[in-house]
Amino acid sequence: MLWSGTLADSGKVGSAKFMKLANQGIRDRGIILGHANNMVAPNHFDRLLEIVNSRGLSTVTLTDAFEV
């Protein structure tokens, strides 16, 4: 599995950089790598979903993607 973008949240990342990477990485057929190491992503779930929805995209799990 290769990803096409990262949220850089495996370590300390600020909100501005996190959202910049999200805007760049969230795209059709893209795979974004995110981590649960800190609270940056959970604090921005609403903004991440806005990006996904505004681009007419949907989220899927790896199980969904590979029909496992």
Q: Where are the domains of the chain?
A: 5-66
Confidence at residue 37, expressed as pLDDT on a 0 to 100 scale: 74
Question: Does 67 or 45 have the greater pLDDT score?
Answer: 45
Nearest to 49 by CA among 30, 68, 67, 22: 22
Measure the CA–CA gap between 65 and 42, rounded to whole angstroms.
23
Helix residue ranges per DSSP H, 1-68? 15-25, 40-43, 45-54, 62-66
How much is the pLDDT for 46? Answer: 95
Read off the pLDDT of residues 4-48 as tens digits, 9 standing for 90 and up: 999 998 888 999 999 999 999 999 989 998 887 778 888 999 999
pLDDT in the model for residue 15: 93
| pLDDT for residue 57 is more than 90 | yes
